[in-house]
Amino acid sequence: MRTTAAPGSAMKNADSATRACTGTHCFAMAGITMWRSWASSIASSAHWSTQRMHDNGSIPCRMVFFDAGMTLIQPAPEFRDGIQHVLNENGFQVKREDLDKHSADAVQYLISEIHSGRRYAVSDEADEEFWGDVYERLVSRLGYSGDARTLGLKIYYFYRQFHSFELFPNSLPTLQILKERGFRLGVISNFSTMLRGVFELRGLREFFDPFIVSAEVNMQKPDAEIYTLAMERAGVAPDDCVMVGDNPVDDVRGAAAAGVRGVLIDRFNRNPDAPPPRITTLAQLPGLLSLRN
């Protein structure tokens, strides 16, 4: 996401990291692509699918697609102070308050680029260029006298390590339950190609087919075409699917445009007024779904 925590200046845990689009760690928690949830949360409300539910409130389906960043995985704790770490390692000492201030400016630049329609997630090259621009802007405004582009890319590559992401506590148990009940599982994620390595490292890759990564297919959410591609590869119809993700634009509105029901996971209560289906932990997902025969 390659899309989306919104940490405040303290950033001591994932909860605080997803509440406000301010502070240094909006980048650290964003990792490479994880900014998208909070960036999109400032957009207008998503269009919500009206796909039929059973009388008991469950959603009948065969295929469950998942977003990756901030849905199944999150930045590991040791990587949440990454910008400060990289700057220090390169001999550039800055005050925390200055870093927070100029990070907020860089976030506004990032959001403006997204709203302008920049295709940041359609390839690894686009991903690197986008984040290189963001981090270069940050480093320059902090007053770095050296090559700001080079230092910005060092920040970018600090997060391009497979072990920079860890699972949410309920991710693996939820996937195991759904698999045991006969659901098919897939991934549709705005991410660089490193996502496969992350999932292999964390023991998730075996659960998913298809595994659609935006940088591999030159498409990105919320465009309906990436959902259509996923359904074609899975051999399923829209009514057979749900999409689970933390982003009301990419994962709900985008899915709805392709005829797929979106399930919003709102761990940090960013969208309390979102209509159902809305869950606050993945542990609630198995009880929301019923296997369609």
Give the residue from 133, 163, 193 where a domain finishes. 163
Contact 28, 11 (CB under 8 A): yes
Domain total in the chain: 2
| 248 shares a domain with 182 | yes
Which pLDDT band holds residue 32 (cuts at 50, 70, 90)? Answer: very low
Comparing C-alpha atoms, which of 220, 192, 226 is closest to residue 119? 220
Give pLDDT tens digits for 280-290: 999 999 999 99
| 259 shares a domain with 123 | no
pLDDT for residue 98 is more than 80: yes
Contact 162, 68 (CB under 8 A): no
Quote the CA–CA distance of 159 and 82 in Å, as a whole number: 8
| 54 shares a domain with 183 | yes
Q: Residue 251: give its domain's CATH number.
A: 3.40.50.1000
Higher pLDDT, 151 or 16: 151
Task: Supply φ then ψ for residue 46, to 5 degrees.
Answer: -75, 155
Give pLDDT tens digits for 106-148: 989 998 998 898 999 999 999 999 999 999 999 999 999 999 9
Give the residue from 141, 163, 185 where a domain finishes. 163
Tokens encoding 86: 């990289």
What is the extent of the structural domain holding 191? 43-74+166-291
pLDDT score for 85: 92
List, in order, residues 6 or more apart from 40 with CB less than 8 Å away.
3, 4, 114, 247, 248, 249, 250
Higher pLDDT, 42 or 239: 239
